[in-house]
Amino acid sequence: MTAPAGCICLQLRTELDAGNHVQRMRQNLMRGRLGRSRIGIVSGIVRPTAMAPHGEAHTVASGDGNGNFTSMVAEIDPKCIVPEEHRATEADASSFDDSVERSVPVIDISALVQKSSDESAISRVVEQIGAACKEWGFFQAINHGVPQELLDELAAAEREFFALPLEEKKRVNRSITNAWGYANDELTKRTRDWKECFDFGPTYYPDLPDDHESNLSQDGFNQWPEGRPKFKSVLTRYFDVMTGLSTKLLEAIAMSLGLEADYFHQYFGKKHSSIMRLNFYPICPDPTVVMGVNRHKDAGALTVISQDDVGGLQVLNGGKWIGVKPIKGAFVINIGDMMQVWTNDIYKSPVHRVLANKLSARYSTPYFFNPAYETFCAPIEACVKPGTEPAYQPVSWAQYRLKRYEGDVSDRGEEVQIAQYVKG
């Protein structure tokens, strides 16, 4: 369901609507207020000190620009401390053991991505994906057709970026008015994540500069580290591949619901608002009091994650935290809040988190497949039982995304949650 022109309303804390918000960003861009030299610098997840109190010293990753890390001693920032009831236990940390009885499903999706003529093979994959979405909201996809060479290039680019000197990474800092760029102070559930990240989105007109007015979206415009064209080239190529793979997965989800394969296409198109993120989780001196990322649900339609072999991603299932054990070359897939709304709770957005690690740093690359900003998400008629009311009121994706980002970058009350849109 797409809203008529002019109906969408975005709510910033100052109650700006979408048009005014984007117009203000365009005006600031023209005045140079959003230029790279004017992006605000945010504080880090640690505070430098000669030696932290209570023996809580920790190595902060930075580098010389050539992939060589240096370090400094620092204490844990109090904003990183997770409330005691949400901290990881030793049992949680062991959830990657082979002795664990339950694990996230692993699905061979080759028939789906290779456009197999064997309809029964496609049907089996669709059925498996539907069952995984219903029981877990998570699965791992293997034989997905993405070349290992591209995954290796991505991993190398990610490591090179995070090894840059902190000052260089901060030249492309995110801000409250531009969601694209580097950050090391993101919040989840009002707790600072133990991570660094780099975000970017689609460039609608690749032949124009990223900061051209035509490429400005609700989220801002893409920023790239200067003098590193290969970094941009690898990431944008991977972004396009992920868009294609996500579209095929979305088609399988549609079929699993008894819908036409292209049902969800109407909400995405060329103006989808997807996000790609590079994550770096530094070694942590005390993983019992902090989280790489606190418990949360993803906001959009679905997420495709490439992770290294360290582990740390966990999903809450059956009242227990279950580790998503790394499989070389596999993608981790999970559904988000908008899919929960569309399916009227048939498929639910899963709660998940990332543990911090005192022995190894971790890298991951999630791709968040999000609908176009103007989309209003509402329960699909076929997913609502006859004689019952839809569980959710229509959700403006643009408004939901904006509120969620505001929660990511500022400590201003409770994050927006999909439960707030339940009809009552």
| Domains by residue range for the chain, with CATH | 18-421 (2.60.120.330)
DSSP state of 330: -
Owner of token pair 């064997």: 118
Average pLDDT, the chain: 85
Between CA 170 and CA 251 the distance in angstroms is 39
For residue 358, the surrounding DSSP H or E stretch is none
Q: Give the pLDDT mean for 171-195.
A: 94
Residue 99 has what pLDDT? 54
Confidence class for position 366, pLDDT limits 50, 70, 90? very high
Which DSSP string do the residues of 214-281 spell out, in sequence order? GG-BTTB-----TT-HHHHHHHHHHHHHHHHHHHHHHHHHHHHTTS-TTGGGGG-GGGB--EEEEEEE
* Cα–Cα dist 105/83, whole Å: 31
Distance between CA atoms of 411 and 80, rounded to whole angstroms?
12
Strands of the sheet with 291-296, listed across from one edge: 291-296, 352-355, 313-317, 320-323
Tally of CA atoms within 13 A in the half-sphere of 338 that contains its CB: 28
- Give pLDDT tens digits for 72-98: 335 788 999 999 999 988 777 666 665
Rounded distance between C-alpha atoms, residue 110 and residue 113, angstroms: 5
pLDDT, one tens digit per residue, over 311-343 is: 999 999 999 999 999 999 999 999 999 999 999
Specify the pLDDT at position 10. 29
Q: Cα 243 vs. chain centroid, distance in angstroms?
A: 14
Q: Name the token pair of 392.
A: 């959710």
Sequence-distant (≥ 6) Cβ neighbours of residue 106 within 8 angstroms: 139, 140, 142, 327, 330
pLDDT in tens, 97-108: 655 678 999 999
The predicted-structure confidence for 211-263, as pLDDT tens digits, reads as follows: 999 999 999 999 999 999 999 999 999 999 999 999 999 999 999 999 999 99
DSSP 74: E
Residue 56's pLDDT is 35
Angle at 110 between CA 109 and CA 114, to 5 degrees: 125
Supply φ then ψ for residue 271, to 5 degrees: -105, 25
C-alpha closest to that of 224 among 201, 194, 258: 201
SS3 state at 397: helix
The CA-atom distances, in angstroms, between 227 and each of 40, 107, 113, 391 are 21, 40, 36, 50
Q: Where are the alpha helices (DSSP H) in 114-176?
A: 119-135, 148-162, 166-170
Q: How confident is the model over 191-202, as a mean pLDDT?
A: 97
